[in-house]
Structure 1
């Protein structure tokens, strides 16, 4: 079992990064021969990426369900993600070609992905009584104290003093994101 962080911590990462969600959906449960090869492809791709520190993959988490299976990945850049996805010598490109051929033949399995480009400082995290997960695996963990005590504080919008707890209730000050000059 992975060790728990019993301290309340937040994760930070230097610079911009990418969150990539990729998954598959089993549409016909009893057609194992259609979806099992698709689900078996992801672990070998992740092994390939983890064996190459220069790949740009920072961390990943995999969630397996009955119908829905997902890998949430953290990448250094979109360019790194794209380079791997299109590399004919890596495992992804041929697997994707095969998967697309299979999906044109039947709708027994579906695939999807979402890509989010995250700018430095435009995210916040909190972990308490949990092992490193998600960005907590990819970034550096720091105590969630002082300015990191609240979500608005972790975003740099306040000094972390915008919420107070008295044991039975929570009180908070209104906060607004800082003006960026785009629409001012």
Structure 2
């Protein structure tokens, strides 16, 4: 006797209600030169240590996401309680020093991030990244202006009227 196709399904969905200010950030490092391999490999353990130390507001992190092997392109996804926590960490040590040093010398890699705000809005920056990745693959690009904090504040709204109140499907799916 056969079973229905959905009998073994165990789908779960998150309850976002406790995280109205959630921010998810994807970060990537794309190797541009042979020296960039060394830069990438040297950076991995340092960022892993920061995640393991759980800076205030960091809810969860996933490192070593492989975007491609050729060219070598690795990344991470970090979940923050709110934009203020994420920006505070970005302005603190060691991140502030890493970013300053990168702007002086990219050491053969390109760095990018894309940020998604639960309250709405998105923000991204691509620095010395060869080829198109993420939003830059389909959107026109322009010169970055202002600080990271200013860009986040401009794109994150406090209007929650469009957020879903639950996670139930709007229509049933027949099988």
TM-score range relative to shorter protein:
0.5 to 0.7
Q: Partners in 1 of 2:79 and 2:167 — Cα distance?
A: 27
Q: Which runs of 5+ in 2 are unaligned?
A: 1-8, 121-163
| Large movers: runs of 4+ above 6 Å | none
CA deviation after TM superposition for structure 1 residue 45, in Å: 1.9
Cα-Cα RMSD: 2.8
Equivalence for 1:172: none
Equivalence for 1:35: 40
How many residues are paired up?
A: 119
Equivalence for 1:94: 97
Query: Contact 2:36/2:109 (CA < 8 Å) preserved in 1?
Result: no
Counting only pairs closer than 5 Å after superposition, residues 1-184 of structure 1 correspond to structure 2 as: 7-13=10-16, 14=18, 15-29=20-34, 31-48=36-53, 50=54, 52=55, 55-62=56-63, 63-64=65-66, 65-66=68-69, 67-87=72-92, 90-103=93-106, 108-119=108-119, 155-156=164-165, 160=169, 162-166=171-175
1 or 2 for the larger relative contact order (CA 8 Å, sep ≥6)? 1
CA deviation after TM superposition for structure 1 residue 59, in Å: 0.9
Q: Which has the larger radius of gyration?
A: 1
Q: Which runs of 5+ in 1 are unaligned?
A: 1-5, 121-154, 167-184
* TM-score (structure 2 length as normaliser): 0.57
Q: 1:161 to 1:19 in 2, by over 3 A?
A: closer
CA deviation after TM superposition for structure 1 residue 117, in Å: 1.2
Query: Contact 2:24/2:78 (CA < 8 Å) preserved in 1?
Result: yes
Query: Contact 1:45/1:92 (CA < 8 Å) preserved in 2?
Result: no
Equivalence for 1:180: none
Q: Partners in 2 of 1:29 and 1:157 — Cα distance?
A: 49
CA deviation after TM superposition for structure 1 residue 36, in Å: 2.6
* TM-score (structure 1 length as normaliser): 0.54
Q: Partners in 2 of 1:161 and 1:43 — Cα distance?
A: 40
